[in-house]
Chains A and B, each alone.
Chain A
Amino acid sequence: MSAERRLPCPYCGTEVEWRGESVLTCPSCGTAFSRQGSVGDHLMERINYEPGEVFKIFAQWALRMPETPNDFFASATISRCRLEFHPYWLYEISGVFAYTVQGGSSYVRLRPLAILPESIVPRGFAEEAGEETATAIVSVPGLRRDLESALGRLTLSPAGKVYFSYRYVQQRGGVLLNPDIPPEEADRAAERRAEEEVARRLSRRFGKQAAAKLVEKKTFERRLVHVPVYICEYVYGPRRHVFVAEAGTSRIIYAEVPKETRFRVVAGIAGAVSVAIALAVLSTIPRAPFFALTAASGLLLSGAYSIAKALGSTATVREFYAQ
C-alpha cells in the first residue's frame, strides 16, 4: 500500500501530496518545507538566456579545441531542449574558524651536507595556529544524482536570486526537481565546505597548506535555490550531441563536441606508430631487458594517449564558460 499522505504548507496551509520526499514545494506560495517545517528562504534563478543564445556562445567557445571541426559554428544546429530546475542548498556561514598552518620545515643543528644517519631525524616545528573570523558562501547540490555529475561542481552566489515562483516554472514549461538531500545532511556538508573555503584562503595568505575548523558560529543561513538548467540536443552531421547549460548565466556545464575525422585519423596513425616502435623495442629483451621494458613503457604510454584521442567520435567538455 502506498505511503502517500498530505502535508500542510507551513506558510499558506495548502495540503501538498507527500510520498516520503525530503523536501516539498508548495504549488500555491512556493514555500519549501519538510515534515519538520520550513527549510529556509526558497529562491530561484530566473531565465536570462534562451537555448539558442547559449548554444551560440558554446559553439564559439568549442572552436578553441583542436578536435572541433572548423565548420562546427556554421553547421551545428540546436534541435530540442528541456528545462529543469535543479535544487541547490546555498549557505552564508560566518564565525570564528580555528586554523593550523603546516610549518613543513625541520630544525636541526650542525647538520652535515652528507646524507644523515637515520637516527638523526629532524624534529618538525610545531604547527602555527590561530583564529580567523570569516564569512563563506557555499553551495551544496540538493540532488544526490547531481553530486557525481558536472552539475555537482556548480557553485552559486546569492546575487541575483529572487523568491521562488512555481507559476514561473510552469509558464516556462520547466520541470521542478525537489531535493532528495535533506537539509540536516546539507548543513553538515556546508560546514565542511565552509571550512575548506576558509582553509583555501588561509593557504593562499600563508603560502602553505592550512586546515580550518568552525569553532563559533555567528551566522548560519540556509536557503534553497532552484537553478534553471537546459539539457539540449544539437545536430552536427548525421549525429546528435548533448549539452547542458545554466539558463540564468549561460554557463556551459557539460557538452559533447564532435571530433573532426582528419584529427582522429592523424591521432590513430600516431598511436599505431608508437605501438609499432614499442614492439620493435621489445624484441631486444634478451640483450637489454631494462632498456626494452622501460622504453616500451614510454612508447606504449605515448601510443595509448594518441589512440584514446582517436577513439570515440565526441570529446566531452566539463569546463564552465559563459558570456
Chain B
Amino acid sequence: MYLSAAARPARPGLEQALTSLLYELGRRDFAELHGDRIRLDLSRKLREIGFPVEELEITVSLRCPQCAASLQLSPETVVYVCPYCGWAGDVYGRVLKILAWPPAPRSAVERLAGRLGGTLVSAELRYVPVWVAGAEGAASYRATVTYVVTRQHGKQTVSERRRMSVSGTVSAKTIEPVIARLNAEIFGAEEITEWVRSAWALSKPKELSAEEAKPLAGFILAPEIGKEGAASIVVDTIEDNLAEKAKAEARARAPGSVEDVVLNEFNPKVNVEWIHLVFVPYWYFTYRRPEGLFVGAAVGPEASSRVAEAPLSNMRRAAALAGSWALSLATGAAVESFTSVGLGELAILIFFFGLAGVYFLVRTAYKPARRVRK
C-alpha cells in the first residue's frame, strides 16, 4: 500500500512533517485510510506542529510489492495477480500459490455453439476463483423417528404409529469447493463447483510460475472471499450435510414406514484439513439461433461441463397454451360429472387443482428459454 499526501500552502519543513506523519498512517487499517476522518486528524496534527494547512489531499494506492506497478482493485478484492510481473498474493503482501487449470481453446466454444444449433457471437474467457477445501467431520446425534406399521386386526387393516429414539454417530470426508465471489451471480455456478469436485480427484490444477500467471491476470475475476471466510462456509456446509446424513441414518433404522425424523441432539465437529485457492477456466458466451440470442457457459480445459440456454420452440409454447385450454375443458367436464353424482367436495378439489394446472401450463408457454445441461 502506498500513501501520498499534498498540502497547501507550501512552507519549509512541511514535506518532512508530512512524510513522518504518513509513516504513522501506514499502521492504520486500509478501510480507515479512505475516510474523511483521517484527513481531518492529519490536518490537526500538522497544525499542532506549526503547519496550518488549508488544503490536504491523501491518496491511497495499492502497488505490486514486486514490481511496484499501480493496481486497480476494488476494496472487496482479497487476492490479486499482478498483470505486469505475475506476482500473486493478498492485500497484505503475502505471497500465495496460484493453482489453475489450462483453458479450453476458443474453437471448443465455437464447436459447442454449433452443437447447440447456433453460431458463436461472443465468448469471454474468465478465471473464476474457487476455494477448494479438504475437510472431515463427525457428529453425534439423538433423533426421534415417527413411523407407521400396518397389520391385520380381524378383517380390518390397522396402522399403528410409533416413535423410537435413535442415537449414533455419522462422519464425512469431502472435497468442498466454494466460489470466492461475494455478490455476483455466476451463470453456471453449480456446474463450476460440480466440475471442480470431480476434476480435483482426476487431475489437480498446476501451480503456476509468475511467468505463467502473468498472461492470465487480465482474465481473473478477483477473489472476494478470504481463506477464513471460505473455511467458515465449508464448515457450515459440512454441518448441514452431517445433519442430513444423521436423519437418513435414523430413518433407515426404523422398522416401518417413516413419517418424520426430528433431531433432538446434534453435536457436529468439523476439521478443515487444507484449503487452496484455484482458478477455474470458464467461457461465458452468447450464440445466435434463428429464434434469437442465447447465453452459455463452459468450464474446464476441455469445456466439458456446460450449461446453456436454448430456445423454447414455438411449437412447445403453443402446445403448453393449447394444453391450458384442454385442461380447462377437462376440469369443467370432471366438475360437472362429480357434482351430478353428489360428490361436491371432490368436485371443489378438482376445480382448484385444475386451475393450478392451467396456471402452470400458461406460465410455461411464456417461460424464458429452457436450460440445457451436460
Do A and B come from the same complex?
yes
In the bound complex, residues from chain B placing their C-beta under 8 Å from that of A291 are 332-333, 335-336
In the bound complex, residues from chain B placing their C-beta under 8 Å from that of A161 are 31, 75
Judge whether A302 and B324 touch: CB under 8 Å: yes
| 1/0 contact string of A3-27 vs chain B (CB within 8 Å) | 0000000011000000000000010
Question: Is A139 close to B, CB under 8 A?
Answer: no
Tell me whether A70 and B293 are in contact in the complex, defined as CB-CB below 8 angstroms, given that A162-B31, A322-B183 are known contacts.
yes
Q: Which one, A29, A125, A163, contacts B31 given CB within 8 A?
A: A163
Q: Is the interface on chain B under 10, 10 to 19, 20 to 34, or 35 or more residues?
A: 35 or more
| 1/0 contact string of B176-192 vs chain A (CB within 8 Å) | 00000011110000000
In the bound complex, residues from chain A placing their C-beta under 8 Å from that of B33 are 162-163
In the bound complex, residues from chain A placing their C-beta under 8 Å from that of B150 are 113
CA distance A270 to B317 in the complex (A): 11
Question: Is A198 close to B, CB under 8 A?
Answer: no
Judge whether A295 and B332 touch: CB under 8 Å: yes
In the bound complex, residues from chain B placing their C-beta under 8 Å from that of A209 are none
Q: Which of A5-53 contact B (CB under 8 A)?
A: 11-12, 26, 28-31, 42-44, 46, 48
CA distance A306 to B325 in the complex (A): 12
| 1/0 contact string of A205-217 vs chain B (CB within 8 Å) | 1111000000000
In the bound complex, residues from chain A placing their C-beta under 8 Å from that of B75 are 46, 160-162
In the bound complex, residues from chain B placing their C-beta under 8 Å from that of A249 are 76, 182-184
Q: Which one, B160, B185, B365, B368, contacts A65 given CB within 8 A?
A: B368
Q: Which of B127-158 contact A (CB under 8 A)?
A: 144, 146, 150, 153, 156-158
CA distance A161 to B74 in the complex (A): 10
Q: Which of B17-39 contact A (CB under 8 A)?
A: 30-39
Judge whether B161 and A157 touch: CB under 8 Å: no
Question: Is A220 close to B, CB under 8 A?
Answer: no
Q: Which one, A157, A165, A274, contacts B325 given CB within 8 A?
A: A274
Judge whether A309 and B354 touch: CB under 8 Å: no
Tell me whether A248 and B184 are in contact in the complex, defined as CB-CB below 8 angstroms, given that A63-B293, A302-B324 are known contacts.
no
CA distance A246 to B197 in the complex (A): 32
Give, as a whole number of angstroms, the nearest-CB distance from A257 to chain B: 11
Q: Which of B341-374 contact A (CB under 8 A)?
A: 347, 351, 354-355, 358-359, 361-363, 365-369
In the bound complex, residues from chain A placing their C-beta under 8 Å from that of B184 are 249-250, 322-323
CA distance A184 to B190 in the complex (A): 40
CA distance A103 to B156 in the complex (A): 29
Q: Which of A264-290 contact B (CB under 8 A)?
A: 267, 270, 274, 277, 281, 288-290
CA distance A63 to B77 in the complex (A): 29
In the bound complex, residues from chain B placing their C-beta under 8 Å from that of A65 are 368
CA distance A222 to B324 in the complex (A): 52
| 1/0 contact string of A223-266 vs chain B (CB within 8 Å) | 00000000000000000000000101111000000000000000
Question: Is B240 close to A, CB under 8 A?
Answer: yes
Question: Is B193 close to A, CB under 8 A?
Answer: no
Of the listed stretches A79-87, A104-112, A185-193, chain B binds A104-112
Count, chain A residues at interface, CB 8 A: 82
CA distance A251 to B247 in the complex (A): 38
Q: Which of A71-119 contact B (CB under 8 A)?
A: 73, 101, 103-113
B38, closest chain A residue (CB): A163
Q: Which one, B161, B324, B331, B333, contacts A111 given CB within 8 A?
A: B161
In the bound complex, residues from chain A placing their C-beta under 8 Å from that of B295 are 60, 63-64
Judge whether B355 and A248 touch: CB under 8 Å: no
Q: Which one, B39, B312, B365, contacts A270 given CB within 8 A?
A: B365
Which one of B183, B324, B358 has the greatest number of beta carbons of chain A within 10 Å? B183
CA distance A161 to B35 in the complex (A): 11
Of the listed stretches B81-89, B165-173, B200-208, B260-268, chain A binds B260-268
Judge whether A298 and B335 touch: CB under 8 Å: no
Give, as a whole number of angstroms, the nearest-CB distance from A149 to chain B: 19
In the bound complex, residues from chain A placing their C-beta under 8 Å from that of B351 are 294, 297
Question: Is B328 close to A, CB under 8 A?
Answer: yes
Judge whether B161 and A297 touch: CB under 8 Å: no
CA distance A65 to B259 in the complex (A): 41
Question: Is A292 close to B, CB under 8 A?
Answer: yes
Judge whether A322 and B34 touch: CB under 8 Å: no
Judge whether A302 and B40 touch: CB under 8 Å: no
Judge whether A28 and B40 touch: CB under 8 Å: yes
Q: Which of B210-229 contact A (CB under 8 A)?
A: 224-225, 229
Question: Is A159 close to B, CB under 8 A?
Answer: yes
CA distance A241 to B105 in the complex (A): 38
Judge whether A165 and B185 touch: CB under 8 Å: no
Question: Is B163 close to A, CB under 8 A?
Answer: yes
In the bound complex, residues from chain B placing their C-beta under 8 Å from that of A323 are 184
Judge whether A128 and B262 touch: CB under 8 Å: yes
In the bound complex, residues from chain B placing their C-beta under 8 Å from that of A289 are 336
Question: Is A66 close to B, CB under 8 A?
Answer: yes
Question: Is B327 close to A, CB under 8 A?
Answer: yes
CA distance A321 to B183 in the complex (A): 9
Q: Which of A284-323 contact B (CB under 8 A)?
A: 288-299, 301-302, 305-306, 309, 320-323
| 1/0 contact string of B74-111 vs chain A (CB within 8 Å) | 11110000000000000000000000000000000000
CA distance A108 to B262 in the complex (A): 17
CA distance A251 to B76 in the complex (A): 14
In the bound complex, residues from chain B placing their C-beta under 8 Å from that of A206 are 243, 262-263
Question: Is B4 close to A, CB under 8 A?
Answer: no
Judge whether B161 and A109 touch: CB under 8 Å: yes
A–B pairs, 12, beta carbons within 8 Å:
A29-B36, A29-B37, A30-B36, A63-B286, A64-B369, A125-B163, A159-B229, A205-B240, A206-B262, A291-B335, A299-B329, A301-B328
List 16 additional A-B contacts (Cβ < 8 Å) besides A63-B293, A107-B146, A297-B355.
Answer: A60-B295, A70-B293, A106-B161, A110-B153, A163-B37, A205-B243, A205-B263, A246-B183, A289-B336, A291-B335, A298-B328, A301-B355, A301-B358, A305-B363, A309-B366, A322-B185
Which residues in B have some Cβ–Cβ distance to A below 8 Å?
Answer: 30-40, 74-77, 144, 146, 150, 153, 156-161, 163, 182-185, 224-225, 229, 236, 239-240, 243-244, 247, 259-264, 266, 286, 292-295, 309, 312, 321, 324-325, 327-329, 331-333, 335-336, 339-340, 347, 351, 354-355, 358-359, 361-363, 365-369
